[in-house]
Structure 1
Amino acid sequence: MKISPSKLTLGTAQLGLPYGITNTLGLPSQESALNILNHAKKSGITTFDTAPAYGEAETRLGQWIHNFGSMEKDQPIIITKLPKFENNRNSSAANFVEKTIDQSLKTLKLQQIPLLLAHRAEDILNPAIYDSIISSKENGKIYSFGASVYDVDIAFELIEKTDISALQIPFSVADQRFVKSGLTSKARSKKITIFARSAFLQGVLLLSDTQIPEFLQELRIPVRMLNEIAAFNELSCANILLRSVAHHSEITSCVIGVESIVQLNTHITSYKKGPLPVHLSAEIFNLFNDISYETQNPGRWPKM
């Protein structure tokens, strides 16, 4: 089964904890978070991505959902995550999956989770976890499931060996691995929904070249050139970067994270400008052709 997400999905990590190395506003207040969620829905965003690992995000999202009432047509599409399974900390895979899903249902104030993603994609290849997820789907606790992936080879293995209906992948001009490998094309041919995250690489691609940390120095020259191209075309870098991902033919929905309604409006306005001209899209993707995996993956960055 598939869900039908909006073309923009609101990521809620920034609503639950101070997220990203470029975050300057910190954790928004409860009122600000609810206002952002309301504004997103009024603007046509129907899909919201969260996780137990995102601090207060699930709790705030649950409060917001509760405020809706129970009218089915108003119910948003909620994506949450199955945390990483740790053998030494959890009694059994089956109990871990069941308890995690039950807790998320309670926190989110939902009867059913529309889409559950494994936060560590490899966990779905664990037969005990996979079987427990299938059972949760059969008993109606989840509607569909998939994985949040970092590794292309793992994504291919999931497509071949499991019945996933969605993948969430990192995708930006600086990280084109999943598209270039043919993974997104193969997934789409199997009707697997593709969510793209990290369009701004945690905001690093929106910095000036002089602001980029030393450990990401290989981004400095392409980012400087990106800024020059944006200025020449009288566009912002945020506009170019978002449109290059959100309007990509192999992406179902682009996950955006915001700290304020102003940021949200900026992204929505950018998206509504439509796809980039083909020559401009090719030009900016070519700038970042040779970026290393250590730079592409925030999980490899030094702890700030």
Structure 2
Amino acid sequence: MKNKLILGTVQLGLDYGINNKSGKPSLQKAFDILHLAYDKEIRILDTAEAYGDSQEVIGKFQKENPNKVFKIITKLAANHSLQKGDLSKQIQRDCKILGVNQLYGYMFHNFESFKNNAYFYNELLLARESGIIKKAGISLYSNEEIKDVLDNYPDFDFIQIPFNALDNASKRKTLLIRAKNMNMEVHTRSVFLQGLFFKNGNNLPEVLNPLKTYIEEFESIKLKSGINTETLALQYVLEKEYIDFVLVGVENTEQLMNNLIICDQKVNIPHDSIDAIDVKEINLLNPSNWN
């Protein structure tokens, strides 16, 4: 299932994640991650203008390794200062930084900034027609946002949404199947909920204490199934037939290798049990609400 993996690169440009112990890697370690990803047949990278110097790191890698060309998805910064008519020039700037002639995908970084600049929708579609991007997408959080896009902006090629053992099929499945029926690709992120699953419900920031019950429920399923945290969390998402790609971020090559090994394992994921986890405090499933 590793052909469904997209390598997220926010960790290459920023200290990121509630469970991140090593911080932002050096340029050489970032290159080691990218080399391993390419050698193991991962071909798509996810980055953003807002991810520190992630785009610059990728651009340097592409320039120094012309035989290892990734497909790259990047995102318009939510706090951009672009005016109407400027989007194409911004995409061209990103291409130059990333060392590519065409972006595999270009996304709006969040729903709010998109709605505040909805005229960029047609500009993005024109960029696709011109060939400077292959696919147009948008990053979303809530089901209300997904519904709005499906109802009113059907020409997006893909949506990127959170999906994991807590933000699960009971919350998302119906809408994602609808997106698939509209020929939209479904890309998912937050498979480990920024590392929250590895805390086992312990040492949580006070704001996340309401999630402890659900994390313990996940832990119980893990113990009954005899499957470790990484495998249970990742394969749960990878095995959903209505999900096209799963974005994973890593801090080092060891984590990436572990994810690749998990993709090749044959285990029986207890989907029904995980699907039954029903988080009521859905606002806490969005890491931007953790501060």
TM-score by length of 2: 0.92
Q: Which segment is superposed worse, 223-232 or 103-112?
A: 223-232
Residue number in structure 1 paired with 2:141: 150
CA 127–201 in structure 1, closer or farther in 2 if over 3 Å, else same: closer
Q: CA deviation at 1:122?
A: 4.5
Structure 2 Cα separation of the partners of residues 236 and 56 of structure 1: 33
Structure 2 Cα separation of the partners of residues 207 and 127 of structure 1: 39
Alignment equivalent of 2:110, drawn from 110, 114, 120: 120
SS of the residue aligned with 1:65?
Answer: helix
Residue number in structure 2 paired with 1:223: 215
Q: CA deviation at 1:206?
A: 1.4
Structure 2 Cα separation of the partners of residues 99 and 137 of structure 1: 13
Q: Does 1:293 align with 2:282?
A: yes
Do 2:176 and 2:186's aligned partners in 1 also have CA atoms closer than 8 Å?
yes
CA distances 1:90-111 after superposition (whole Å, capped 9, x unpaired) = 4x1322x133212211110111
Identity %: 27
Q: Which amino acid aligns with 1:159?
A: L
Do 1:11 and 1:255's aligned partners in 2 also have CA atoms closer than 8 Å?
yes
CA 227–179 in structure 1, closer or farther in 2 if over 3 Å, else same: closer
Structure 1 Cα separation of the partners of residues 114 and 130 of structure 2: 18
CA distances 1:136-180 after superposition (whole Å, capped 9, x unpaired) = 222222111010111222222222322100110000111137854
Q: Which amino acid aligns with 1:129?
A: F
Aligned counterparts, 1:67-78, within 5 A: 67-69=64-66, 74-78=68-72
Q: CA deviation at 1:130?
A: 1.4
Alignment equivalent of 2:188, drawn from 196, 214, 230: 196
Q: Does 1:57 align with 2:54?
A: yes
Structure 2 Cα separation of the partners of residues 223 and 33 of structure 1: 31
Do 2:165 and 2:218's aligned partners in 1 also have CA atoms closer than 8 Å?
no
Q: Does 1:103 align with 2:93?
A: yes
Residue number in structure 1 paired with 2:162: 170
Q: Which segment is superposed worse, 266-275 or 29-38?
A: 266-275
Q: Which segment is superposed worse, 225-234 or 167-176?
A: 225-234
Structure 1 Cα separation of the partners of residues 237 and 267 of structure 2: 9
Structure 2 Cα separation of the partners of residues 130 and 200 of structure 1: 31
Residue number in structure 2 paired with 1:272: 264
SS of the residue aligned with 1:259?
Answer: coil
Q: CA deviation at 1:217?
A: 1.1
Q: Which amino acid aligns with 1:113?
A: L
Do 1:9 and 1:48's aligned partners in 2 also have CA atoms closer than 8 Å?
yes
Alignment equivalent of 1:31, drawn from 28, 38, 57: 28
Q: CA deviation at 1:114?
A: 1.1
Q: Does 1:207 align with 2:204?
A: no
Q: Does 1:9 align with 2:6?
A: yes
SS of the residue aligned with 2:193?
Answer: coil
Q: How many residues align?
A: 288
Do 2:170 and 2:275's aligned partners in 1 also have CA atoms closer than 8 Å?
no
Q: Which amino acid aligns with 2:273?
A: E
Structure 1 Cα separation of the partners of residues 203 and 118 of structure 2: 45
Q: Which amino acid aligns with 2:23?
A: G
Residue number in structure 1 paired with 2:227: 235
Q: Which of structure 1's runs of 4+ aligned residues deviate more than 6 A?
A: none
Q: CA deviation at 1:201?
A: 0.8
CA 275–193 in structure 1, closer or farther in 2 if over 3 Å, else same: farther
Residue number in structure 2 paired with 1:82: 76
TM-score by length of 1: 0.88
